[in-house]
Amino acid sequence: MREMIRLEPVFQEMVWGGNRMKDYFGYNIPGDDTGEAWVVSAHPQGDCRIAEGSFAGKSLSWLWENHRELFGDAQGREFPLLVKFIDAKEDLSIQVHPDDAYAKEHENGARGKTECWYILDCAHDADIIVGHRAKNREEMRQLMEENRWEEFLKVRPIHPGDFFQIPPGTVHAIRKGTLLIEIQQNSAITYRMYDYGRMPGGKPRQLHQKQALDVVQCPYEEDMGERSVTHEAGYDKTFLVACPFYTVEKYDIRGTAKINQNHPFLIVSVIDGEGSIDGCAVKKGCCLILPDGYGTADLQGDFSIITAHI
C-alpha cells in the first residue's frame, strides 16, 4: 500500500512527569505531569488511533488484526514494538525488565521488555542509571536490603545524542531533566526496585524486589555497542542497534533524499526539524508507519528521524 499510516499519540500522566512535550513537540498534553507520549503503540494501555487516510479513526491494534498484509504478514498476536517519548521532570524509579521466557512463565504469557533510548535533550548536568556494581547475587541482595543504592548503581553523565541499549536484566533509571525517545518490545512489564520513598496519593508505589532479584543480570556485563555512520545523497545515516526484536537507525536529512522501505514495516519518528515525506508535511514529534511494499520515499527538508523495524 502506498499510503503512510500517521498516528495520534496517547499520553500517560506520571508522578515523575512534566510539561516539556508541550513546547518541544507542540503536543496538546493533558497536564503538567505528562511523563510519556506513546506515539506508536498497539498496547491495551495505550492504543494509538490512525490520524488520517483510509483507516482514519481505527486503532493500530485493529489494523494489525485486520490488515496484517500491511505489516508483511508478520507473525505474532500483537504488534511487536512500542515507541514513546519520555519527559522526566523527576527521577524515575530504579527498575529492571524481564526477558520473554520469564515474562511468559510469571506474567501470564506476556512479552519481556528489551528497550533502547536516544537522548533528545537534557539538563547540562543530567545523568542516567545503566547497570550496577554488585559482584554477585548475595552482594546485590545485601546492597538492596540496606538501601545502599549509591554503592550499587552505575550512574553515567549524558548529553543529547547519546544512545543506550537496555537488554532485559539491566538495572536502569531515567533521571530528572531528561527528554528521550524509547523504542521497545510491546510490553509494560516493569519490576520496580526502589522509588525514593515517594508517596503519591499518600501511598508508596508497589515494589517488586523478589522479581527483580530473579531477573537482574549479575554481575552486570556492559555492552554499549558501536555506532557506524554512512553518508548518502541528501542524508547521513547512523546505525544505532540491531537485536532480535528491532533495528534502530537515525537519518539526518539535508535537502532532498530517497529512502527505500523494504522491511515488513518501517516506523518513522521525527525528532528534530521539519520537512516533508512524499509531499506530506512532517515536523518534530510526528510519528508514522510506512507499510509493507511502500517502496521509495522522497524526503525533503532539514530534519532528523529515528527509524525502527523488525
Indicate the DSSP class of residue 200: G
CA-based Rg of the chain, rounded to a whole angstrom?
19
Nearest in space to 84 (alpha carbons), one of 280, 308, 283:
308
The number of CA neighbours under 13 Å toward the Cβ of 194 is 19
The number of CA neighbours under 13 Å toward the Cβ of 271 is 26
> Confidence band (pLDDT; 50, 70, 90) for 53?
very high
Q: Mean pLDDT score of the chain, rounded to an integer?
A: 96
Residue 120, H or E segment: strand 115-122
Q: What are phi and psi of 50, to 5 degrees?
A: -80, 130
Q: Which residues pair with 184 in a beta bridge?
A: 82, 115
Can you tell me the distance from the alpha carbon of 205 to that of 188, in angstroms, rounded to the nearest whole number?
Answer: 16
Q: What is the mean pLDDT of residues 108-137?
A: 96
Residue 257: its pLDDT value, please? Answer: 97
Give yes or no for a cis peptide into 219 (omega within 30° of 0): yes
Strand pairing category for 228-232 and 235-242: antiparallel
200-225 confidence digits (pLDDT tens): 889 999 999 999 999 999 999 987 77
> Confidence band (pLDDT; 50, 70, 90) for 226?
confident
pLDDT at 73 over 80: yes
3-state secondary structure (DSSP) of residue 70: helix
Residue 223: its pLDDT value, please? Answer: 77
The reply to whether 228-309 shares the fold of 5-215 is yes
C-alpha cell at 28: 496538546
248-304 confidence digits (pLDDT tens): 999 999 999 999 999 999 999 999 999 999 999 999 999 999 999 999 999 999 999
Residue 140: its pLDDT value, please? Answer: 96
Cα angle 250, 276, 71 (rounded to 5 degrees) comes to 65
Alpha helices (runs of H) in 60-203, residue ranges in sequence order: 60-66, 100-106, 137-145, 149-152
Q: What is the residue extent of each domain of the chain?
A: 5-215, 228-309
pLDDT at 1 over 80: no
Of 226 and 43, more confident: 43
C-alpha cell at 216: 537482574
Catalytic residue among 137, 192, 198, 227: 192
Instruction: Report the residue count for the chain.
Output: 310
Nearest in space to 285 (alpha carbons), one of 40, 14, 97:
40
Q: Which residues pair with 273 in a beta bridge?
A: 303
3-state secondary structure (DSSP) of residue 108: coil
C-alpha cell at 203: 501511598
Residue 75: Cβ within 10 Å count: 10
Indicate the DSSP class of residue 93: P
Nearest in space to 284 (alpha carbons), one of 270, 266, 268:
270
Give the CATH fold of the 228-309 domain: Jelly Rolls (2.60.120)
The answer to whether the CB of 234 falls within 8 A of the CB of 255 is: yes
Alpha helices (runs of H) in the chain, residue ranges in sequence order: 20-25, 60-66, 100-106, 137-145, 149-152, 209-215
Q: What is the mean pLDDT of residues 88-107?
A: 97
Residue 192 annotated among the catalytic residues of the structure = yes
User: Which CATH code for domain 5-215?
Assistant: 2.60.120.10
Q: What is the mean pLDDT of residues 43-52?
A: 97
Q: Which residues pair with 129 in a beta bridge?
A: 155, 173
